[in-house]
Amino acid sequence: MKVFKFENNTELTEVVSQFIIELARSKSQISICLSGGSTPKAIFDIWATHYSEVLPWMKLHFYWGDERCVPPSDEMSNYGMTKKHLFDKVIIPASNINRILGENDPEAEAARYANLIQTKAPIFDLVILGLGDDGHTASIFPENIDDWDCPQDCLVASHPQTGMKRVSISGKVINRAAQVAFLVTGASKADKVKQIIEQRFKYSDLYPAALVNPKNGRLFWFLDEAAAKNVVAEDKWDTI
């Protein structure tokens, strides 16, 4: 596991972009599984304005770790947010975009997406994860932490407060990835970041994010100063 701390989203995005460029350098294409939420939205805005000519978009094939069960036009849609903040602003083939169809029946879509993952990206080159204030990741929530061990690649989850249904990848998909990167910003995450980075086993019954431990892959934490205020970032980017 390597922990990187950055002053701001610009610095964080610069390193994440370098990381992706390095991953893509020796391959004809790479599969990147995106998360939703506000953290990636800020990164997509920077990619759209400063990296449209820098990142190898033709090589990047996008998937999602979770999607709310709403149409893509809904403001809650993770794909819809990504399209608005990124895909509408860079040149990327439609065939590179493998969205979860939030408008479909949730159970049927979980089965369809599981099959799509098995067919097109059984081992993701990179899974990008966020961290919820409650320790959730993707759409695996503490209230239903057993969802992590779902035997299928995808499952239907419900948000504990709103009840909104979501299609999510399961823990086995995350832990078989080649690289997993948590992108976490904000002081509200600092306690969970410390608990999970420093005492993963102690919190693995409580927080789904503490169960992220890629079997044959590499785990990275890309944090802003606020989220990282309680941890030591031992690594410098050039040692990745």
Contact positions vs ligand 6PG (CB under 6 A): 35-39, 65-66, 78, 130-132, 136-138
Closer to ligand 6PG at the Cβ: 13 or 35?
35
Reference 82, options 55, 103, 90; nearest CA is 90
Q: Which residue number has the CB closest to ligand 6PG?
A: 130
Q: How far apart are alpha carbons 84 and 95 in whole angstroms?
A: 17
Residue 225 makes CB contacts below 8 A (sequence gap 6+) with 5, 6, 7, 8
Closer to ligand 6PG at the Cβ: 36 or 217?
36
Place of tokens 């479909």: 104
The minimum distance between CB 35 and ligand 6PG, in angstroms, equals 4
Closer to ligand 6PG at the Cβ: 136 or 165?
136
Q: Which residues of 180-210 are buried (b: 16+ CB within 10 A; e: fewer)?
A: bbbbbbeeebbebbbbbbeebeebbeebbbb
The minimum distance between CB 26 and ligand 6PG, in angstroms, equals 29
The encoded tokens of residue 160 equal: 């504990």
The minimum distance between CB 218 and ligand 6PG, in angstroms, equals 20
Handedness of CA 78, 80, 81, 82 (dihedral sign): positive
Per the CB < 8 A criterion, the answer to whether 211 and 171 are in contact is yes
Reference 13, options 237, 179, 203; nearest CA is 237
Closer to ligand 6PG at the Cβ: 12 or 138?
138
Closer to ligand 6PG at the Cβ: 130 or 171?
130
Half-sphere exposure of 12 (CA within 13 A, CB side): 28
The minimum distance between CB 223 and ligand 6PG, in angstroms, equals 12
The minimum distance between CB 60 and ligand 6PG, in angstroms, equals 19
The minimum distance between CB 69 and ligand 6PG, in angstroms, equals 11
Closer to ligand 6PG at the Cβ: 35 or 59?
35
Q: Which residues of 25-62 are buried (b: 16+ CB within 10 A; e: fewer)?
A: eeeeebbbbbbbbebbebbbbbbbeebeeebebebbbb
